[in-house]
């Protein structure tokens, strides 16, 4: 009999994270009544594409779509597609606007959303410390109204909701111990953070999500600046990258849900409300999955060596972010409102102290 190889620490952690998936969000599907036959006359069919590849999508959206389809009880079915399966990620917005697809889960910057607040989608440098900062900013500091206002000017697209994902770390094949070590490193990442980090010599490179692993193996990429520890381990990038930089560029990714307006208006109110509820469920589940996974994999994950840029040197990066914020604020009235909200929120959190900062 072949002796079973013992699990590594990260394998045990990932297994527990996947068990959490089946026991939490996916478990909600089983608790619902079995759906009627989807093919019944009048059933609404949607196609939704996410920014994420399948391994990550299994957590950031599939539980929600499975639960919605079950709860819709045959009145509606959403077909889920992962990164680049129907259209390239950079064309997601236009494809949704034209009705090629009915809905999208993405950040604005990655899918080239044609609004003046697109720069804030994804990772905006040092805008957040914790995942709860994102819903707080949208609910209590005016971002919800700003996003609604921006998309009211775009034909045939309805913005539905924003939520938090993971913090941004840099994972590389060669170590980064100083800002100078960033120079010349080609990394896959989201646009706004890449634009900010390029001043230190980091080179943002865009490839299809499913090609990242091969690009790392062939040397086309030197690393990724796309995610936190949970994703790096879950999708396999931690198997190729040898080093993880502990300095976080920001605490949480801004992601949103969007729908083609014509498609959205054909959905009856009770199913619209059900979809919004399933989005909230997804936000809640994702927050737990990332929050627990980030800490555990950073402490117990064995696949990458942790490196850090010294605090005094990293303080210059934090200072540079202030100038970056101000330059973005100068680009228009709405961007200035967002930056002002970030500043007010940050000042409030600092004054509040523990456990807020």
Structural domains present in the chain: 17-164+253-296 (3.40.190.170), 168-251+302-352 (3.40.190.170)
State the pLDDT at residue 29.
44
State the pLDDT at residue 39.
45
Q: Give the model confidence (pLDDT) of 330-340 as tens digits.
A: 999 999 999 99
Q: Is the pLDDT of residue 26 over 60?
A: no
Q: Give the model confidence (pLDDT) of 206-258 as tens digits.
A: 999 889 999 999 999 999 999 999 999 999 999 999 999 999 999 999 999 99
State the pLDDT at residue 7.
73
Sheet holding 168-172, edge to edge: 203-205, 186-189, 223-227, 168-172, 243-250, 305-307
Q: Is the pLDDT of residue 2 over 80?
A: no
How confident is the prediction for the chain on average, in pLDDT?
A: 91
- Looking at the chain, the whole-number percentage of residues with pLDDT higher than 90 is 86
334/331 Cα distance (integer angstroms): 9
Question: Tokens 């995942």 belong to which residue?
Answer: 131
**Residue 154 to residues 12, 150, 311, Cα–Cα distance (Å):** 46, 7, 43
292/299 Cα distance (integer angstroms): 11
Q: Give the model confidence (pLDDT) of 318-357 as tens digits.
A: 999 999 999 999 999 999 999 999 999 999 999 999 999 9
Range 147-170 average pLDDT? 97
List beta partners, residue 305. Answer: 243
Q: Is the pLDDT of residue 32 over 70?
A: no
Residues 110 and 50: beta-carbon distance below 8 Å:
no
Question: Phi, psi (5° rounding) for residue 131?
Answer: -60, -35
Please measure the distance between the N-terminal and C-terminal CA atoms of the chain and give it in whole angstroms: 54
Residues 163 and 252: beta-carbon distance below 8 Å:
no
309-313: Cβ within 8 A, 24+ apart: 309/176, 309/177, 309/178, 309/179, 309/245, 309/247, 310/178, 313/178, 313/179
Q: Is the pLDDT of residue 13 over 50?
A: yes
| 3-state SS assignment for residue 5 | coil
Range 13-26 average pLDDT? 56
Q: Give the model confidence (pLDDT) of 276-291 as tens digits.
A: 999 999 999 999 999 9
Instruction: Show the CA angle centred on residue 303, arms to residues 191 and 237, nearest 5°.
Output: 35
Ranges of beta strands (E only) in the chain are 44-50, 76-81, 103-106, 157-164, 168-172, 186-189, 203-205, 223-227, 243-250, 254-260, 305-307
**Cβ neighbour number for residue 206 with a 10 Å cutoff:** 12
Q: At 41, is the pLDDT very low, low, confident or very high (cuts 50, 70, 90)?
A: low
Exposure string (b/e) for 140-155, b if CB count within 10 Å is 16 or more? ebbbbebbeebbeebe
Question: Phi, psi (5° rounding) for residue 141?
Answer: -120, 20
CA atoms within 13 A on the CB side of 36: 11
Q: Give the model confidence (pLDDT) of 127-145 as tens digits.
A: 999 999 999 999 999 999 9
Q: Give the model confidence (pLDDT) of 77-128 as tens digits.
A: 999 999 999 999 999 999 999 999 999 999 999 999 999 999 999 999 999 9
State the pLDDT at residue 28.
46
């Amino acid at each position: 009999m072949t002796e079973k190889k013992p699990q590594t620490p990260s394998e045990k952690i990932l297994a527990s994270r996947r068990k959490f998936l089946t026991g939490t969000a996916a478990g909600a599907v089983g608790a619902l009544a079995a759906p009627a036959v989807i093919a019944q006359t009048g059933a609404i069919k949607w196609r939704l594409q996410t920014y994420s590849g399948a391994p990550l999508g299994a957590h950031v959206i599939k539980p929600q779509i499975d639960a919605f389809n079950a709860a819709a009880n045959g009145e509606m079915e959403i077909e889920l597609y992962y990164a680049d399966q129907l259209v390239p990620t950079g064309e997601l917005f236009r494809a949704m606007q034209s009705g090629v697809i009915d809905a999208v889960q993405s950040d604005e910057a990655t899918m080239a959303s044609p609004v003046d607040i697109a720069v804030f989608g994804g990772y905006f440098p040092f805008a957040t410390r914790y995942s709860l900062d994102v819903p707080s900013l949208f609910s209590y500091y005016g971002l919800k109204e700003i996003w609604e206002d921006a998309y009211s000017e775009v034909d045939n697209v309805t913005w539905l909701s924003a939520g938090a994902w993971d913090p941004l770390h840099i994972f590389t094949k060669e170590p980064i111990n100083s800002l100078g070590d960033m120079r010349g490193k080609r990394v896959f990442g989201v646009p706004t953070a890449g634009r900010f980090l390029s001043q230190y010599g980091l080179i943002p490179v865009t490839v299809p999500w499913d090609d990242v692993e091969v690009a790392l193996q062939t040397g086309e990429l030197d690393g990724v600046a796309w995610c936190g520890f949970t994703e790096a381990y879950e999708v396999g990038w931690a198997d190729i990258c040898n080093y993880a930089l502990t300095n976080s560029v920001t605490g949480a990714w801004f992601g949103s849900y969007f729908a083609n307006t014509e498609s959205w208006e054909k959905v009856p109110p009770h199913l619209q409300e059900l979809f919004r509820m399933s989005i909230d469920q997804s936000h809640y589940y994702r927050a737990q999955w990332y929050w627990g996974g980030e800490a555990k994999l950073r402490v117990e994950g064995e696949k990458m060596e942790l490196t850090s840029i010294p605090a005094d040197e990293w303080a210059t990066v934090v200072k540079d972010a202030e100038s970056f914020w101000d330059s973005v604020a100068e680009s228009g009235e709405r961007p200035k409102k967002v930056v002002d909200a970030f500043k007010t929120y940050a000042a409030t959190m600092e004054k509040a102290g523990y456990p807020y900062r």
